[in-house]
Structure 1
Amino acid sequence: MTSLHSTSRTRPSTGRRARRFFWEEAAQDCQSKQAEGRRPEFSEYVVRNLRAAREGVGREAGTVASMRTIHRMSLPDGGWDRLPGPYIAEHHVLTLFGLHQHGASEPVHRPGVGLGNACLRLRRSEALTQSALERRLFAAADAQDMHELAQHLQRLVPLLRSAGIGLDYTRLFYELAQWDGPDRNRTLRSWGLQYTDPGALVPRTDETDTDARGEEPGSGCALYWTTFDPGSSSAGAELAALRSGTGREAGTVAAMWTFYRTRMESAWRDRGALTRDLAAEHAALTLFARHQQTHARRMHVPGTSPGTAAGLLAKKAATGSERKNATTALERRFGALLTSTDSDELVMHLRSLVPLLHQAAVGLDYDLLHEALRAWDDPRRPDAAVYFRQTWDRDFHATATS
């Protein structure tokens, strides 16, 4: 779309800490013994403080005396009206780590394993059903604030522990610390992309059109609208999930995660990259869901461009003496769509066109629409918008006047 988020991981300002986080110390404590050839076990210092961390479960930050020595985030001098957000985030992460590490002989703090990665491993372990796992993960992703998020994670962490799956607690700390701020979207997108990571991509060739964000346009599984079955028992629920993403940033609606087919390298998925192809697919999915609802046949119709579809609308709306007025009104609406300066504006106009197509049962080629949304304002394809404008305008007039 017109503005894509930077994919470099930036950490919010979270105050000062005097030394490593406690979970980092615990992992190093065990690993250093193993490196020395000794039995890899936690020292009494770590065991004692793990008990302290568990004592904080369900308690308010700063109220558990035994936890104060394992906090690494500093508090401001001279008192405070409320605890700083990073201190509260550390409290929650300490309690989650205490629950996770309890009874595990190996360190559960695993650098580089994000929550989405961990849940993907849990799904593949078949320790519980995919639907049960996704209910818990999606509930966490939908948390309105840091406290609610921590409560949902308290239900997930024991499942990871049972399956022997670790988690990057330093990363989780920064994600909780920024949850109530503007960077939540990047966190959500990274969880979703990690969780749906298909693994190794198809090997590239010299001709592969890979963009600067690690993306391979057009590669991957068949896009959702091409395989959608209107007769499926889950069709209604799927379309409702996709409609919930209308107006939202791509990758930030947990209910949509499993419907994306955009392929990108795992490193980019891990960062929560907002790529042009992902943004285009997200927009097309939400439009298709609005278009498809209640129809018994698939509204994805290959070969029917937006120009052809709008022309068919004009023909359906025109009856007797009303024909000219109806055609003129649709031509004006469609002309506004063609003058879109970027993909975001194009999506806005499509949102007003798609309900009309739905009502008239006129289909649309969503593969073509996806391609147009991706390329419309792509600086590497400066002629793309001109091509689509001219082709769709020609399609409209040819269909409306035939």
Structure 2
Amino acid sequence: MRKGRDSKCLGSIIFVLVFCFAISALPFASAIQRQKAKIEKHEFGELADGIALYTLTNRNGLEVQISNYGGAVVSVKTPDRAGRMADIVLGYDQPQSYADDTVFFGVLVGRYANRIAKGKFSLKGVEYQLAQNNPPNHLHGGVRGFNKVIWHPREVSRADGAALELSYVSKDGEEGYPGNLSVKVTYILTNANELRIEYSATTDKETIVNLTNHSYFNLAGAGSGSILQHVLRINASRFTPIDKTSIPTGELKMVKGTPFDFTRPTVIGSRIDQADEQLRFGKGYDHNFVLNKKGKELSFAAEVYEPKSGRVLEMWTTEPGVQLYTGNFLDNVHGKAGKFYNKRDAFCLEAQHFPDSPNKPSFPSPVLEPNQRYMQTTVYKFTVRGAGRGR
């Protein structure tokens, strides 16, 4: 008899627990139903016809704005641990500011991201001379790189979220590069709270390609001040030391025992002002890290945590390297919402082939042949971490 009563009591308890769980889940479920992944087009300034701003929203309420001028990521709005939304990338309110920009806020960079020594490289015995727009070197594709062109936009259907495809044909000889290069870049804001960037390119003549996005992040909110208390981990046991003009020496140096060891979570500012030649050359961190990986698989590259807000940025990429840049050259730049950005107010994590790879045979090759397709994927995943969980 007692056994029967116990069974009834147990059944009642299970029913109550299931009922309570179902009731508590209703607000979340209804919120998911209310918000669907979508993309909206808006006017964006008066610089030129065809320039627009596209707002991608996922079903969780995350929002990313992208312009087809320079392929710029204009804003990324994510919640902190209390659910408060903030824009976590630096940028401008108007396309004219992107046209005048010299620091590459959020833009697509190409044909060759980062530096090429003295603007020179050779392919099959033919030497090419590029602009030395970062004297004495070539930087980020030249005077009118991919950050200064109007991309052709197309909204595309993706099962995993809202997506915008941008395409551009770089003509043979543009900025000194050989070959007609057809480029497509697709931004996807997934329902897993990821900004996924997929790149592809083909050429009709042997050339070099190294594409990336140059977003500046501050996980406490754009314009909120220094990022030196952010906590960083990079999946790299080696980095590429540079000379005084920021060109790699060719060495792959172990990070252990140096200020470049981020193999464990480390406060960005804890060693940035040490008396170190490499930090002096870069005026802080502006260096390529050699990711611990084999081949071109999509793999973990880095994670950044901002303790006060709880925001976490995780980066994955198919590329062999990632450039850590700590905004060392920002100097009172007038940005969005009337805010001004200064030195070390943001960080960049740029997926890439190594700087000056065309002149370093020991580095992974950036050469693209006419019968090949360049492909690259980088993912930025946004999460939050609860208070007291440490690093």
Give yes or no for TM over 0.5. no
Higher strand share: 2
Question: Which structure: larger Rg?
Answer: 1
TM-score interval, normalised by the smaller of the two chains:
under 0.3
User: Which TM-score applies when normalising by structure 2?
Assistant: 0.24
Q: TM-score scaled by structure 1? A: 0.23
